Chains A and B, each alone.
Chain A
Amino acid sequence: MTSGLWELVLNGIWITVQLLVLSALVATAVAFGVGMARTHRLWIVRFLAGVYTEVFRGTSALIMIFWVFFVLPVAFGWQLVPLWAGTLALGLTYGAYGAEIVRGALNAVDPAQREGGIALSFTPWQRMRLILLPQAVPEMIPSFTNLLVELLKGTALVSVMGMGDLAFSANLVRLALQESAEIYTYVLVIYFVIAFLLTRGMRGLERRLKAGVGKQIGRTPDQELHRPETTGVGAAGSLGGAS
């Protein structure tokens, strides 16, 4: 491979990383907003948040990307630059999966904790901020780690729209060299390395957060069987025993 082609790949990595960071931020915001809304005391708030998660988890990430790229401009006149269109489609979709993680972890907090908060006459928001979230967030990290790796894999989908990300650069190199094995192997390895670094980083974060609430890191087989779906998609799911 020539240095020009490598430059193409490096540029692809940069776009993939940007897309990953931006859509992870959008997804996190959506996950917490919608996830907390699903535990709201007003049924209408819970219902709307539920509709959001079911719609966005119900459809495919690739279809969402097509929708944002082709239907939004025509139907609403919003022509987004590709990076933002990709961010929006991925953030909204993966945020819906994240919302299930947030809801599951909030529901898994011992109800006695909530009652304790009521007994101290905290407002609902104070209970959320001071009692529920600090206990629930460390429990979310393993699931969020999985989701983040799924999101990384999902970023490859924008290459279908011609965005010059890592997966797209592989296609360009294939066309230039008329040879596939080498470049696709490299690109798969690069994705794997990014996923590995993400997993490592998240594990460190989990250890720090859990130390804060005096818990150990680790998963039981039972949690594994009931873990919320995070693969590009996925359905039902509840964290621990909260279904």
Chain B
Amino acid sequence: MTWDWGAVADFMPKFWDGLLLTLQILALGSLISFALGLVWALLMRTPSRLVRWPVGAVTEFIRNTPLLVQLFFLFYVLPEWGVTASALTTGVFAIGLHYSTYTMQVYRAGIEAVPAGQWEAATALNLPVTRTWRVVILPQAIRRVVPALGNYVIAMLKDTPILMTITVMEMLGEARLFAQQNFQFTEPLTVIGVAFILIAYPASLLVRALERRLVR
């Protein structure tokens, strides 16, 4: 086994480019998944079965099928339907949509964990429904869900390399390109593997600390 520090040094500029793009994808994807997930969760609380059933079915479908194939679907099918978007935009949307079907479950659990007495008190004070959600239920639910959402952000980080398959040059994309150009696979792949661990492990410690502080 040989290890070439020179190759590592050559790869590093590309690595930083890839890291930056990975973090951008992660930030935007997280925002989309937080917002969409909340929309799904609230729609699942509407009294109308005509709303709940389709939302439940579609999100269940997205959650139980591979992100990779969904990504291909969006990347190849949307242009056929006349919708054009860059690979990066498509990728960010796909990952945000996919994870929104997970965050919706987190929100749902958070909402269900708010004691029934809170709803009753809001009714007793005659607070309107929207106001009850906004100032009573959601603030309490959000507090409980922050650590669980954090977990999904970390999960999403580790799914960002999938965007490589539609030509997005995030970390793995850069590593593969470098490897193919220089016929050196070990160094770039190991560097990004270590980079993922160096980001994900402290992040997971942070989430665990948050969980102890916020949830209990």
- Would you call A201 an interface residue if the criterion is a C-beta within 8 Å of the partner chain's C-beta atoms? no
Q: Which residues on the A side are within 8 Å of B85 (C-beta)? A: none
CA of A61 to CA of B81 in the docked complex: distance in angstroms? 32
Q: In the complex, what residues of B have CB within 8 A of residue A236's CB? A: 147, 151, 204-205, 207-208, 211
Q: Which residues of chain B are within 8 angstroms of A171 by Cβ–Cβ distance?
A: 72
Bound together, the chains give a CA A178 to CA B162 distance in angstroms of 23
Size bracket, chain B contacts = 35 or more
B124 in the interface (beta carbon within 8 A) = no
Q: A90 contacts which chain B residues (CB < 8 A)?
A: none
Q: Given the complex, which residues of B lie within 8 Å of A160, measured CB to CB?
A: 68, 164-165
User: Which bucket holds chain A's interface residue count?
Assistant: 35 or more
B106 within 8 A of A: yes
Proximity bits, B162-190, A CB within 8 Å = 1, else 0: 10110000001001100100000110011
Residue B193 at the chain A interface, CB threshold 8 Å: yes
Known contacts A184-B77, A243-B208, A234 near B155 by CB under 8 Å:
yes
CA distance A166 to B112 in the complex (A): 38
Interface status of A153 (Cβ within 8 A of chain B): yes
Least CB separation from A184: chain B residue? B73
A128 shortest CB reach to chain B, Å: 26
Contacts of A58 in B (CB 8 A): 196-197, 200-201, 204
Q: Does A11 belong to the interface (CB within 8 Å)?
A: no
Q: Are B186 and A63 in contact (CB under 8 A)?
A: no
Q: Are B193 and A222 in contact (CB under 8 A)?
A: no
Q: List the B side residues contacting A71 at CB < 8 Å.
A: 185-186, 189-190
Known A181-B80, A192-B64, A235-B154: A170·B189 in contact at CB below 8 Å: no
Nearest-neighbour CB distance to chain A for B9, whole angstroms, equals: 19
CA distance in complex: A152, B151 (Å): 20
A180 touches B73 (CB 8 A): yes
Complex: chain A residue closest to B203, CB-CB: A235
A199 to chain B, nearest CB (A): 8
A180 pairs with B159, CB closer than 8 A: no
Q: Mark B146-158, 1 if CB is under 8 A from A, else 0.
A: 0110111011011
Q: Which stretch (A32-40, A202-210, A224-232) binds chain B?
A: A224-232
Q: Is the CB of B200 within 8 A of A63?
A: no
Residues of B within 8 A of A226 (CB): 148, 211, 215
Judge whether B102 is part of the interface by a CB distance below 8 angstroms.
Answer: yes
Shortest Cβ distance from B115 into chain A, in angstroms? 11
- Tell me, rounded to whole Å, the shortest Cβ–Cβ distance linking A239 to chain B: 13
- Cα–Cα distance between A225 and B187 once the two chains are bound (Å): 38
19 other A-B residue contacts (CB within 8 Å) besides A67-B189, A71-B185, A188-B70: A59-B197, A59-B200, A60-B196, A66-B185, A71-B190, A159-B68, A167-B72, A188-B69, A191-B66, A192-B65, A222-B113, A224-B106, A229-B152, A229-B154, A233-B157, A234-B154, A235-B155, A237-B151, A243-B208
A-B contact pairs, 19 of them (CB 8 A): A57-B200, A57-B204, A60-B158, A63-B193, A67-B193, A70-B179, A71-B190, A154-B66, A156-B68, A180-B73, A185-B73, A221-B108, A222-B109, A224-B109, A225-B110, A225-B145, A231-B152, A233-B155, A235-B204
Tell me the B residues contacting A by CB distance below 8 Å.
Answer: 1, 61, 64-70, 72-73, 76-77, 80-81, 99, 102, 105-106, 108-110, 112-113, 144-145, 147-148, 150-152, 154-155, 157-162, 164-165, 172, 175-176, 179, 185-186, 189-190, 192-193, 196-197, 200-201, 203-205, 207-208, 211-212, 215
